[in-house]
Structure 1
Amino acid sequence: MANELHPQAQGIQQLLAAEKRATDKVNAARRRKAKRLRQAKEEAEEEIEKFRKEREEQFQQYLKNNVGTAGDAEKEMDINTKRKIEELNRAAATQMDETVKGVLDIVQDIKPTIHQNYRNLA
């Protein structure tokens, strides 16, 4: 009987060893899977960052080409304002003589008339 138990004990030992090997293989597979997932995540993050940088550069180029900067808009407004002031000064200078003459003619050429509400009571 002792001989019969010994082969069973040996079989149990083999089963336990096989179970341990299987557990080790499953754990190793899980570690490989986790490692692959981390690598895939890192690669995806790198790709996303690269794409984000490209899109940001395209956006900045678009702004530069189509919108300009705030400094450019300010400079353009200053130039336009100075140009309009110069135009108004030129227009005033060319029309000043006529305007002064017209005002003097109105002030100096007095034509007395009776007001429409005046009633002659005499």
Structure 2
Amino acid sequence: MASQSQGIQQLLQAEKRAKDKLEEAKKRKNKRLRQAKEEATADIDQYKLKRETDFRRIQTSIMGSQGNLAVKIEEQTTEKMQAYNSNYQKFKEKVVKELLELAYDVRPELHKNFKNKQ
């Protein structure tokens, strides 16, 4: 019976060692999984940051050029408006004078298709 009790003790100790080894293996596995997850998260964050940086650079170049176009269009519009106002002021009196001359200087003439029936 003593040998049987000693055999049971050995089995219990072996079972305990196996259980401890299993727990250690699970801990190592969980630790590796956690580490892999952290590395993957870091890689994802780094990739995301790179893509956002590229996006912002491209967006800035596109929006910057659109902003420049808007400024150029505004400048051109201002220049044309000034030119039109200048021409208006320059030729206003001359045009009004010519229009008044045409309205006041009426010369009655027979139309070229008029046939005299005499």
TM superposition score category, shorter chain reference: 0.7 to 0.9
CA drift of 1:72 comes to 4.4
Shift >6 Å, 4+ stretches: none
* Structure 1 residue 89: Cα displacement: 1.9
Is structure 2 residue 85 aligned with structure 1 residue 89? Answer: yes
AA matched with 1:35: K
Measure how far apart 1:81 and its partner are: 2.8
Name which structure has the greater RCO, CA cutoff 8 Å, separation 6+: 1
How many residue pairs were aligned?
Answer: 108
Aligned counterpart in structure 1 of residue 20 of structure 2, from 24, 35, 39: 24
The letter of the residue matching 2:80 is K
- TM value normalised by structure 2: 0.74
Q: TM-score, normalised by structure 1?
A: 0.72
Structure 1: gaps (5+ residues): 113-122
1:45 match? 41
1:2-39 deviation line (CA, Å, top 9, x unaligned):
xxx11011011100111111111111111111111111
| Identity across the alignment (%) | 39
Structure 2 unaligned regions, length at least 5: 109-118
Q: How does 1:1-122 map to 2 (within 5 A)?
A: 5-68=1-64, 72=68, 75-110=71-106
Alpha-carbon RMSD across the aligned residues, in angstroms, is 2.4
> What is the CA distance between 1:69 and its match in structure 2?
7.2
